[in-house]
Structure 1
Amino acid sequence: MSSPDPVAVFRIEAAECLEQIEAGLLDMTHRLDDKDLIDAVFRGLHTLKGSGAMFGFDALAAFTHHCETAFDRVRKGEVPATSELVAAVLAAQDHMRALVDDPDGDHGATGQRLLAQLQSAVGGRREVAPAAAVAAPAAVPQSTAARTWRVRFSLPENAMANGTNPLGLLDELRELGECSIIVNKATLPSLENLVPTELYLSWNVTLTTEQPRSAIDDVFIFVMDDMQLDVEEITDTAAPAKMAAVPAMPAVEKAPEAVPVFVPPVVAAATASVEPAPARRETAPAVADSRQAKATENVRVPAERLDELMDRVGELVIAQSRLSRLASASADISLRSVSEEIERLSGELRDTMMVLRMVPVATLFGRFRRLVHDLARETGKVIELVTEGESTEVDKTVIERLADPLVHLVRNSIDHGLEKPEERVEAGKVEAGTVTLSARQAGGEVIISIKDDGRGINRERVRAKAESSGLIQPGQALSDAELLQLIFAPGFSTAAQITNLSGRGVGMDVVKKTVEALRGAIDIESRPGEGSEVSLRIPLTLAIIDGLLVRVGTGSYVIPLSAVEECLELSLEEDLRSRGRSFISLRDSLVPFLRLREVFRTGTRPDVYQKVVVVSTGTERVGLVVDQIIGDHQTVIKSMSKLHQDVTHFSGATILGDGSVALILDVAHLVAAGQQQEAQLRAAG
């Protein structure tokens, strides 16, 4: 197997680093004086600059250096943290992404404009140099008198395996002033128990320097989160003289910056004249093994490999179905036993594969913090984004396809829904408008809602626009739900003028098409003056589902099991008696039903004892009349061909154990058809 491309690995890690920086900056918009957030953003910029320089992304390192310098000045109290600085670094972060993706592109003009914006944000106290090369770090202000510090530190055992060179840290301490170093080998194991890639040493350093305490912390900034560090000032002037009598660790020549140097701890230990200490307790190798296991808990896997594995699992499920069919027709007990074992294992493998593909919606919701921040600055509105149910998990393919539809819905809520601050105050509302993104699981579906507390949807304006566009006839009777659904028609827009956000009549129809392609549905609720809520009902997964296999005429069909509520028997007499009304009484409520035999035009006579499968989309129910219920079936979803795109009753197909094809029913469309039939019957009655 070929080793991964280091540049590709850097790009992945740079993307994660940029996401962390962006999250910190967006948190700072509400807490500008939070020192922890300022330090976190500074560390992220510092890491990105150093990694970029190591992998040859010089333009990225040079540009990032200026943002790092700006936050360093904030960190040291030289300039205050402002919303202008946050906005400038957010804009600069987009430029950093471009430098990561295309380091050789022509980004000079953009970089200079952003650097000028950054200089203005920090008060213009320091001239910003062109981003041609990595500038030298700003000198740390020196105090007038030298002070003595005792620095005790130890690094995690996997520090060298992760690229940290402790000798480099000691050299940086040496550069701050006069120091003496003592290496502690108390935890050094015997040679046979020593793991070459692990670090067993710790150090005691006495440092006399004119630099401030922050300069010592900056030496360890890359490893600050994982190490143990104790720094205290020595007020006894005799202490340094006593410590100086201990032989110091000889200076080590620095390695080139682009190539990390790994020095085995045994070699480092040999440079100090301290007697060897007893070996570590014999349980050390076991502890080391557990730490190594923890370090490899998370593994990055390309998405296409997961898709390929999912396809293989799907084929295995189909093969297992064929095996079960053969075993059930055989009298061989051994074959049945093997078939049952294979069925159990394939089911467990399928469930495990599903878990691997599931991704929390937090990865999707996190993208909108930046969008809302930018739209607030662009529109002049005060907007708060609230997210709920971020731990809800959805298939990764669903997450990828929902990104663009949710962007359209959020932009629509902000532009059409939320009022200007002065309008909200006049209406008796708080100045800040709220957009809430929420997710929850309901059976085999995930419901993702976008809710705002704005002005709501103006029904009169929607109707007027629909009539002028020819979508409906003037004065045509529509239910409230049907009227609100008109906003998803192609080319529909109620915006008075075209802006950067809306007015061109594109976007909402794309949302509907995307959601329907995911076998989902859209619900809208709106209250004048109180706000609107758009709910997307999406299936949990698009690969393998549990289905109810039924027969209609001579054909087999699959109903998603998550949508099935219950099954009833419909005799021939009841079928004949219900002709003309198509309703069944179910616990004091009337439920419309569809005769699938007539919908699919099978041309066959009904069975003597038909079955009614009651399905639901959450709020609406309809019965589906079938000839026979065969049983549950693990359904591997195969997409319909382009020739069948207009067939609305089916969402896909699957292969049965005997090699025949069964169509998967689209429950949402069938429920809509049943409700439409109910409305027509009520109107006729």
Structure 2
Amino acid sequence: MSQLDPIQVFRTEAAELFEQIESGLLDLLEDLSNHDQIDAVFRGLHTLKGSGAMFGFEALAAFTHHCETAFDKVRKGEVPATAELVAAVLEAQDHMKALVDKPNGDHDAMSEHLLDKLRAAVGGQAGTAGSAPAPAQVAKQATPENGLTHYRLNFRLPANAMVNGTNPLGLLDELRELGDCTVAANCASLPDLAALVPTDLYIGWTVNLITDKPKSDIEDVFIFVMDDMEFVLEEIGGKAVQTDTRTIEAAAPAETRADAPAKPAAPVAAAQQPASTGATDGKHAKTAENVKVPAERLDELMDRVGELVIAQSRLSQLAGSSADIMLRAVSEDVERLSGELRDTMMVLRMVPVGSLFARFRRLVHDLARETGKMIELETEGETTEVDKTVIERLADPLVHLVRNSIDHGLEPPDERHANGKSPTGKVILSARQAGGEVVITIKDDGRGINRDRVRAKAESSGLIQPGAQLTDQELLQLIFQPGFSTASQITNLSGRGVGMDVVKKTVEALRGIIDIRSEEGRGSEIALRIPLTLAIIDGLLVRVGAGCYVIPLAAVEECLELSLEDDLRSRGRSFISLRDSLVPFLRLRDLFQTGTEPDPYQKVVVISTGDERIGLVVDQIIGDHQTVIKSMSKLHHDVVTFSGATILGDGSVALILDVTHLVSVGQNQEAQLRVAG
């Protein structure tokens, strides 16, 4: 079994801390007096500094210490929280990421530049606050008359503290920063060498601290380990003794800790359980446990499940052609279990789209400062779940769409005010599930898309012929052409015509489509329709001529019978009447040029994407099929009718129909027939 790289583990945890810190900073911007958010940011910086020092990232720990100190002053009310401070720490966080990625790089100049910004944001106090007074300097002032307090602290960490990532030396260093500090180790609990466990911690400490800091600052040093440790804090010098104790669950036997401070009569470890568990009778609810698994292992497991589904399909086919009752029973059990395993695997890969939306809060904040625009970001449907692969591949396209909405769509505050709008522009990110696809929408209330400008740019670029007749949707879709941009000059945000091209290519690679709606002066809305998953889907297996094809079951609305008479009657105008509405249909036999005669009783499979629907005429509906999607080869990347392939139970290959493309073909055919009529 391979050992985990501790440095990689730290980097993973650091990435999570960066997300927490960034989220806390952006939440703080909405209410600069929110003490909960101030405390949350401080704790995140505190943890990052301690963990960085423990894993050898000294430059990160030293730099983060200054940001932590600045927020410590805010937390204590010494300086106010301001938008400038938040912006400075956000910029500093980007530098912290660089210190994690390249710890041995030359970062001194950037560190000083950012620290200057940080000092300016807190009124020039961050520089001095970042350095703790030397113990000798404190000792000269260590008299009760000068407002200093003498504390005696006895503490013992749990035996597994170092295994869980706690560095006792780091805690002692933080205590030294609070004032004049002397430390004595309690080693009486050390067992004989034969009984010693190398990974366990047996030492306790007694600390005498003379400081002008309050008791809460001492407790904050142990804020992340307090619940599992022994902790006794006494104030010496005429004031009442104050103690705060915790017991170690599953600690060493009492006789091995004879030197430990006396325990209080009633340990409070049991009281640490949150009240929300409702365990008033002493029985505690079992807490949920999460296990971190590398994404590569999930992908590998998904591949194995896919192969199992294919093998199960083969077994079902063999059982269906056999008279052995026991074989059929086993086949049904395997089919049920493989289906349940597939569903469980799909749930493991599903990620709330809110994890993707959260990234854009920082982007909007930075773009607002860069463009001088007032921007409000709203998100809806964050709990909608999508396959993790889809989430990863949608990140860059959504960045381009949000940047485009802010740069091209939203007007400056004075222009919005002149047009009778609120000075603050609004960008809305929303997600919702519609059948087997997720619809992600980017909407703004800006100036909208100028059709005349788009047409002029397209004609000058040779994308369309002058005066060409285009539908409104075809005209708007031109903004996704390579090299297309209506920006008058190249800026950091736009002008090169590459962003929207990336969006189209990525969405098409995900078997998705893009819908655009725009009203000049009112804003634009771009909707991305993406399949929920890219791995295994439920499909409807059909036969056209001698070949088998799979239609994604999520797109299927209903199936109808098309008699030979109805087929002949509809020649020239391929429509069927479906509950007082006309639905266009495509003859797949003609589209695929099978060269075979139609079956006497053909079937029409009605499919839809969004509000559009068409019928597909097939020779036979075979039934449902668990479809493991296999990508098409590079030689077939121009074949737009199919989105992939799958392996059937008999080992043959069935192509998966691209529903989006077929609906588009059907709608275009309908439009041409109406124009001709």
The Cα shift of 1:136 comes to 4.3
Query: Contact 2:555–2:609 at 8 Å: present in 1 too?
Result: yes
CA deviation string 1:56-109 (max 9, x = no partner): 111111111121222222222332222121111111111111111111112222
| Residues 36 and 230 (structure 1), Cα distance of their counterparts in 2 relative to 1, 3 Å cut | farther
- Residues in 1 aligned to 2:478 and 2:311: alpha-carbon distance in whole angstroms: 45
Tell me the residue number matched to 1:215: 217
Query: Contact 1:557–1:665 at 8 Å: present in 2 too?
Result: yes
Tell me the residue number matched to 2:651: 659
Which stretch of the first structure deviates more once superposed, 19-28 or 166-175? 166-175
- 2:444 is the alignment partner of 1:452: yes
Which stretch of the first structure deviates more once superposed, 204-213 or 518-527? 204-213
- Residues in 2 aligned to 1:414 and 1:543: alpha-carbon distance in whole angstroms: 34
User: What SS is found at the alignment partner of 1:566?
Assistant: strand
Any gaps of 5 or more consecutive residues in structure 1? 184-194, 249-261, 282-286
Tell me the residue number matched to 1:58: 58
Which stretch of the first structure deviates more once superposed, 353-362 or 556-565? 353-362
Aligned residues: 642
The Cα shift of 1:278 comes to 11
Tell me the residue number matched to 1:552: 544
- 2:387 is the alignment partner of 1:385: no
- Residues in 1 aligned to 2:451 and 2:261: alpha-carbon distance in whole angstroms: 86
Tell me the residue number matched to 1:188: none
- 2:341 is the alignment partner of 1:353: no
TM-score of the aligned structures, taking structure 1 as reference length: 0.85
Any gaps of 5 or more consecutive residues in structure 2? 187-196, 270-278
Equivalent of 2:415, from 397, 402, 423? 423
CA deviation string 1:360-388 (max 9, x = no partner): 11111111111111100000000111111
Query: Contact 1:69–1:137 at 8 Å: present in 2 too?
Result: no
- Residues in 1 aligned to 2:331 and 2:133: alpha-carbon distance in whole angstroms: 68
| Residues 73 and 328 (structure 1), Cα distance of their counterparts in 2 relative to 1, 3 Å cut | same
| Residues 569 and 87 (structure 1), Cα distance of their counterparts in 2 relative to 1, 3 Å cut | same
Tell me the residue number matched to 1:336: 328
Which stretch of the first structure deviates more once superposed, 217-226 or 21-30? 217-226
User: What SS is found at the alignment partner of 1:70?
Assistant: helix
The Cα shift of 1:324 comes to 0.3
- Residues in 2 aligned to 1:173 and 1:506: alpha-carbon distance in whole angstroms: 54
CA deviation string 1:283-309 (max 9, x = no partner): xxxx9xx999747x2111111111111
- Residues in 1 aligned to 2:121 and 2:558: alpha-carbon distance in whole angstroms: 64
The Cα shift of 1:350 comes to 0.4
- 2:437 is the alignment partner of 1:435: no
Equivalent of 1:614, from 606, 609, 613? 606
User: What SS is found at the alignment partner of 2:559?
Assistant: strand
Tell me the residue number matched to 2:29: 29
Letter in 2 for 1:222: F
Tell me the residue number matched to 2:458: 466
Tell me the residue number matched to 1:516: 508
- Residues in 1 aligned to 2:266 and 2:227: alpha-carbon distance in whole angstroms: 29
User: What is the correspondence of 1:272-671 to structure 2 with a 5 Å cutoff?
Assistant: 272=260, 294=287, 297-671=289-663
Letter in 2 for 1:59: A
TM-score of the aligned structures, taking structure 2 as reference length: 0.86
| Residues 128 and 170 (structure 1), Cα distance of their counterparts in 2 relative to 1, 3 Å cut | closer
Which stretch of the first structure deviates more once superposed, 3-12 or 468-477? 468-477
- 2:271 is the alignment partner of 1:269: no
**Identity score, percent:** 75
CA deviation string 1:2-50 (max 9, x = no partner): 2211111111111111111111111122222222222211221111111
| Residues 455 and 443 (structure 1), Cα distance of their counterparts in 2 relative to 1, 3 Å cut | same
Letter in 2 for 1:336: R
- Residues in 2 aligned to 1:583 and 1:556: alpha-carbon distance in whole angstroms: 24
CA deviation string 1:632-681 (max 9, x = no partner): 00000000001111100000000000111000000000000001111111
- Residues in 2 aligned to 1:51 and 1:457: alpha-carbon distance in whole angstroms: 49
Letter in 2 for 1:49: K
Letter in 2 for 1:270: A
| Residues 497 and 111 (structure 1), Cα distance of their counterparts in 2 relative to 1, 3 Å cut | same
Letter in 2 for 1:216: I
- Residues in 2 aligned to 1:474 and 1:269: alpha-carbon distance in whole angstroms: 90
Query: Contact 1:197–1:264 at 8 Å: present in 2 too?
Result: no
Tell me the residue number matched to 1:257: none
Query: Contact 2:154–2:261 at 8 Å: present in 1 too?
Result: no
Letter in 2 for 1:76: K
Letter in 2 for 1:644: H
The Cα shift of 1:269 comes to 3.4
User: What SS is found at the alignment partner of 2:606?
Assistant: strand
RMSD over equivalenced CA pairs, Å: 3.9
Tell me the residue number matched to 1:43: 43
Query: Contact 2:115–2:127 at 8 Å: present in 1 too?
Result: no
Query: Contact 1:547–1:561 at 8 Å: present in 2 too?
Result: yes
Equivalent of 1:162, from 164, 169, 180? 164
Query: Contact 2:66–2:127 at 8 Å: present in 1 too?
Result: no
Equivalent of 1:675, from 640, 651, 667? 667
User: What SS is found at the alignment partner of 1:610?
Assistant: strand
CA deviation string 1:436-480 (max 9, x = no partner): 111111110000000111111111111111122222222222221
Tell me the residue number matched to 2:79: 79
Tell me the residue number matched to 2:274: none
Which stretch of the first structure deviates more once superposed, 214-223 or 515-524? 214-223
- Residues in 1 aligned to 2:295 and 2:181: alpha-carbon distance in whole angstroms: 53
| Residues 489 and 353 (structure 1), Cα distance of their counterparts in 2 relative to 1, 3 Å cut | same
Query: Contact 1:115–1:128 at 8 Å: present in 2 too?
Result: no
The Cα shift of 1:135 comes to 5.2
Letter in 2 for 1:455: R
Which stretch of the first structure deviates more once superposed, 322-331 or 56-65? 56-65
| Residues 52 and 146 (structure 1), Cα distance of their counterparts in 2 relative to 1, 3 Å cut | closer
Tell me the residue number matched to 2:113: 113
The Cα shift of 1:151 comes to 9.5
| Residues 225 and 96 (structure 1), Cα distance of their counterparts in 2 relative to 1, 3 Å cut | farther
